[in-house]
Chains A and B, each alone.
Chain A
Amino acid sequence: MNSSASAPAKTPGWRQWLTTDAPASRRQARLSAWYRSWLAFRSNPMAMFGLVILLLLVSTALLAPVLAPHDPFAQNLSTRLSAPGANGYLLGSDTLGRDILSRLIYGSRITLYIVSLVALMAPIVGLFVGTAAGYLGGWVDIVLMRITDIFLAFPRLVLALAFVSALGAGIENAVLAIVLTAWPPYARIARAETLTIRNADFIHAIRLQGAGALRVITRHIWPLCISSLVIRVTLDMAGIILTAAGLGFLGLGAQPPSPEWGAMISAGRKFILDHWWVATMPGLAIFIVSLAFNLLGDGLRDVLDPKKSAR
């Protein structure tokens, strides 16, 4: 009945609803805050470029069976090492005559799998350790931060190598190895943020309302730490992809015949002078995705950085 009355002003209506100064519900307040961030993010063309590439990557991974022109594992030794464009291989074929484009498309699934596992695990470990150390202080801080220092002292790739060779090669172990070496910087950032927040009046105020340490940390400190962590994670993603590719290159990550990009570069290394495309194509894929993550991270920093938005 009432819908006819509100229908005509629909297009300006929802925008107004999102940008209102006096939201009428919890949902509207949250949505309008998100919408404002989105508007700020959208005005940054480089960040949008990064976001578009990553969305393309995600849809490529989802639609891999539809998009891939060939089976990524199908070998055809008579057309091995075809140049890009020859024999119907858009990006050429590798040493066993497998279509590189199809392998890149399927490989995006592995890349995304590694990236999302690391992005889910490392920052959360770091957030727990860092905020607990920063907020509780005293001996908790000393113990947790010394552990962090120990992990920080290991060279990343070497520790990952040792870990993978101890547990066996494979994507899951490679991810674990990366997480093990990736969380300490997040703990440091979270602790530094917590130290600046914990003596703020609004934290005193919630303590004076009787909130315990756990609630203060999870409900009041985390929301302020998360944005700087998200920025850092996005910027680190390039490094994580490269580490995963490095492990693959050394034969300690994904195992053949899985089309992991690093492993593909490694396989093409032998022919790099005569058949450049075998190593170059996966290299380009890694480069583009890493660049996209960096651009996205820069854009997110502009939008989310609490020091900037506080002004």
Chain B
Amino acid sequence: MRSDNSKTGIAIDGLNVWFGEGENRVDAVVNACFTVPEGSSFGLVGESGSGKSTILRAITGLTPTWSGSITVMGKNLGRSRDRAFYRTVQMVFQDPYASLHPRQTVDHVLSEALYLHGFDNPDRRITQILGDVGLSRSFRFRWPHQLSGGQRQRVAIARALIIEPTTLLLDEPTSALDVSVQAEILNLLTRLRKERGLTYLMVSHDLSVVGHMCSDMAVMNRGKIVEMLTVDHLRALKATHPYTRQLLEASIQKRRETAQ
């Protein structure tokens, strides 16, 4: 995993994240360590409450109570994030119904991102990115309430990518969507990663989603990383930790049920 021949996109070392102080302190993430090589795709798997989304929130600075070291594209991060950081790292949220401002059109959302980072030529860039995420030009001036869940998530992806970041944090990007739409969004994300050479750090509770999207993964349980393995190992059913096996069995069981 820690090969030196490729550059490191994200490196997490000894990361602890907690909420509350004193008696009420809850340790959400304990001593997490992993690295994501630049241009690769890494999955964090675990059930809800296992602390996987909290890692993303610590990286983005939304949760300020953490210790340890977070390095993104060779830069060690402190408490606060500057605009240059957000230029390189963007996030796609879980629920597309909550992540778009209800009083802003698609055009407004995208031009705000461009404005904040001082991009020129907003018209061309907006048309371009809408095409890239598979939305026709007619969507440009629509309001969020005129869009379906999958369309909203495409807009959220467009918002993240329009400022041309190198790293994308994906917080369960498909779990709020219909099964048929899930596959479309996953394929879109896979295609965009190939086209743009992006680094993905993806959080999911669904082993099959991570298996589809990622090359390496870490399994989390109760705030700790219990096992790191490659997707090939997972496919070969070579997982060693009992929790991973449990997840795997549940996933296979589910797939059988849907097949029947």
> Residues of A with Cβ closer than 8 Å to B?
21-26, 28-29, 33, 200-202, 204-211, 215, 219-220, 223-224, 306, 310
- Count of chain A to chain B residue pairs whose CB atoms are closer than 8 Å in the complex: 77
- Whether A22 touches B159, Cβ cut-off 8 Å, given contacts A201-B98, A204-B62, is no
Given contacts A23-B141, A25-B141, A208-B91, 6 further A-B contacts (CB under 8 A): A26-B107, A29-B107, A33-B143, A205-B93, A205-B100, A209-B159
Cβ–Cβ contact B98 & A206, under 8 A: no
Report whether A24 and B141 are in contact in the complex, using a CB–CB cutoff of 8 Å. Answer: yes
Residue of B90, B143, B156 most packed against chain A (CB within 10 A): B143
Contact with A along B160-182 (1 / 0, CB 8 A): 00010000000000000000000
Q: Is the CB of B113 within 8 A of A209?
A: yes
Q: Contact at A29–B143, with CB atoms within 8 Å?
A: yes
Query: Can you spell out 20 A-B residue pairs with CB atoms less than 8 angstroms apart?
Result: A21-B142, A22-B141, A25-B141, A26-B141, A28-B141, A33-B143, A201-B99, A204-B93, A205-B100, A206-B112, A207-B62, A209-B90, A209-B116, A209-B117, A209-B159, A210-B87, A210-B117, A211-B116, A223-B104, A224-B103
In the complex with contacts A22-B138, A23-B141, A26-B141, A202-B112 CB distance below 8 A = no
Known: A29-B105, A210-B87, A224-B103. A200 touches B98 (CB 8 A): yes
Tell me how far the C-beta of B112 lies from the nearest C-beta in chain A, rounded to whole angstroms.
Answer: 7
Q: Which residues of B contact A22 (CB under 8 A)?
A: 138-139, 141-142
User: Is A21 touching B113 in the complex (CB atoms < 8 A)?
Assistant: no
Give 3 nearest A-B pairs by CB, closest first.
A22-B138, A210-B86, A210-B83
Q: Are B86 and A209 in contact (CB under 8 A)?
A: yes
Residues of A within 8 A of B95 (CB): 201
Determine the residue in chain B with the shortest Cβ distance to A310.
Answer: B102
B35 at interface by CB-CB < 8 Å:
no
Query: Do A209 and B101 form a contact, CB below 8 Å, given A23-B141, A24-B141, A29-B142?
Result: no
Complex Cα distance, B186 from A274, in Å, reads 84
Measured in the bound complex, the distance between the Cα atoms of B83 and A104 in whole Å is 59
Measured between beta carbons, the chain A residues less than 8 angstroms from B24 are: none
Contact of B102 (CB < 8 Å), options: A209, A210, A219, A306: A306
Tell me the smallest distance from the CB of B73 to a CB of chain A, in Å: 16
In the complex, B260 has a CB within 8 A of chain A:
no
Q: Give residues 81-96 of B contacting A (CB, 8 Å).
A: 82-83, 85-87, 90-91, 93-95
CB contacts (< 8 Å) of A26 on chain B: these are 105, 107-108, 141
Q: Which residues on the A side are within 8 Å of B107 (C-beta)?
A: 26, 29
Binding site for A on B (CB under 8 A): 60, 62, 82-83, 85-87, 90-91, 93-95, 98-105, 107-108, 112-113, 116-117, 138-139, 141-143, 146, 156, 159, 163
Residue of B nearest to A220 (CB): B101
Assess whether B102 is in contact with A205, with CB atoms less than 8 Å apart: no
Q: Is the CB of B99 within 8 A of A209?
A: no
In the complex the two chains form, is B99's CB within 8 Å of A202's CB?
yes
Closest CB-CB distance, A184 to chain B, in whole Å? 26
Known contacts A21-B142, A22-B138: does B62 contact A205 (CB below 8 Å)? no
- For A223, list chain B residues within 8 Å (CB): 103-104
Residue with the highest number of chain A CB atoms closer than 10 Å, among B98, B139, B141, B156 = B141
For the complex formed, measure the closest distance between the CB of B204 and the CB atoms of chain A, giving whole angstroms: 17
- Report whether A205 and B146 are in contact in the complex, using a CB–CB cutoff of 8 Å: no
A205–B87 alpha-carbon span in the complex (Å): 13
Which of B116, B146, B159 sits near A21, CB closer than 8 Å?
B146
Point out the residue from A29, A209, A210 that lies within 8 Å of B141, measured CB to CB. Answer: A29
Separation of A169 and B101 alpha carbons in the complex (Å): 47
Least CB distance, B166 to chain A, in whole angstroms = 15
CB–CB B100/A202 < 8 A: yes
- Collect the chain B residues with CB atoms within 8 Å of residue A206's CB: 101, 112
Q: Which residues of B contact A29 (CB under 8 A)?
A: 105, 107, 141-143
* Cα-based distance from A224 to B100 in the complex (angstroms): 13
- A residues near B98, Cβ cutoff 8 Å: 200-202
Which residues of A sit under 8 angstroms from B159, Cβ to Cβ?
Answer: 205, 209
Q: What is the bound-complex CA distance between A201 and B100, given in angstroms?
A: 8
Assembly CA distance A144 to B239 (angstroms)? 56
How far is B102's CA from A33's CA once the two chains are assembled, in angstroms?
Answer: 12
A205 contacts which chain B residues (CB < 8 A)?
A: 91, 93, 99-100, 156, 159
**CB closest residue in chain B, given A311:** B145
Q: Give Cα A29 to B60, complex, Å.
A: 33
Q: Which residues from chain A contact B60 at a C-beta distance below 8 Å?
A: 208
A202 to B146, CA, bound (A): 17
